Structure 1
Amino acid sequence: MDVPEERKRQERKRLLRRSLDRYQRRLGQDLELHRSAPSPEAVERLASGDRSGIEILALACSLYAPQAVE
């Protein structure tokens, strides 16, 4: 892997971790977010692996879709 691609990958991971940390902080403060939140297992699936931004979005949509119809 060349250096620019490795930097992009590291930046994606950093941004995802930052987003998930913010999500965890807000979860305890926002009742609506808490009600609509995916399972902890789903959040862990989002955080694991080495996915591109679009792959993370696609996974998030597929994990959230069942709740959207309820």
Structure 2
Amino acid sequence: MVKSRPLPSVIEFSKLLTAIEKLKKYDVVISLGEKMEMLGITLDLYTYSILINCFCRSSQLPLGFSYGW
């Protein structure tokens, strides 16, 4: 998805992140979230909540509290 042009919307990325999160691949979700930010994709509140949840579930609680702020 990150290589397609034009880039998919944040809604489409959020759907992908949710699917990956359900597979308990939290590190992949975090990595993709960081890649989205580097590509200039504006994250919404829903996407931030997915990422924060993944930080918390992967025992990176301090990063979860500080992410995106």
Q: Is the TM value for this pair above 0.5?
A: no
Q: Which has the larger radius of gyration?
A: 1
The structure, 1 or 2, with the larger RCO (C-alpha pairs under 8 Å, 6+ apart) is 1
TM-score normalised according to structure 1 size? 0.30
